[in-house]
Structure 1
Amino acid sequence: MSKVTTVWADRVLRQVVGWVKVPVETTILRIFKEVSDAQISQFEALTHILRGQHWRRLLRSGKSKVGVQLVQWVDVDSTVDTVCGRQEGSAKGFNPKKKGARSYHPQIAFLAESKEILQAWFRTGNAFTSNGVVEFTKQLLAHLPNRMRIIFRGDSGYFVGDLLELLDTRGHGYLIKVKLKNLTALLAKQNWTAIKGQSGWEQCAFQYRCGGWSRSRQFVAVRMKQPKQVTGPQSELWDTTEYDYFCYVTTEPLTPWKAHKKYGERATCETWIEEAKSQMGLGKIRTNQFLANAALFHCAVLAYNTVRWMAQLSGNKTLCQWEPDTLRTYLIRVAGKLLTGNNQLRVRTPADPLYPQEWDDWVKVGLLA
Structure 2
Amino acid sequence: MVKANLVKDNLMGDKIGVFFGTLAPMHIGHQAEIYKAAALNDGVVVITSGYTGDRGDQIGLPVEKRFRYLREAFNDEKSIKVDYINEDDIPQMPNGWQEWTDRLVKTIKRNIKNPNAHITLYTGEADYKSMLEKLLPNDGHWSVSLMDRTILKVSATAVRKDPLGNWDYINRVFRRHFAKKILVVGAPQTGKSTLTRRLARTSNSPFSLEFSRAYQEKSNVFDSELLLKDYTRIIQGQYDANSAEINSPANNGLTFFDTDAMVTMAETRAWLPDEDAAKLKALFDNTIGEEELDLILVIPPAVAVMNGADEARTKLFDQHLWQVIEDYGFDDKAVLLDRVGGADDPAGYYARYLQALEIIEKRVGVNLTKV
Return the structure number with greater helix share: 2
Q: TM-score, normalised by structure 2?
A: 0.26
Return the structure number with greater strand share: 1
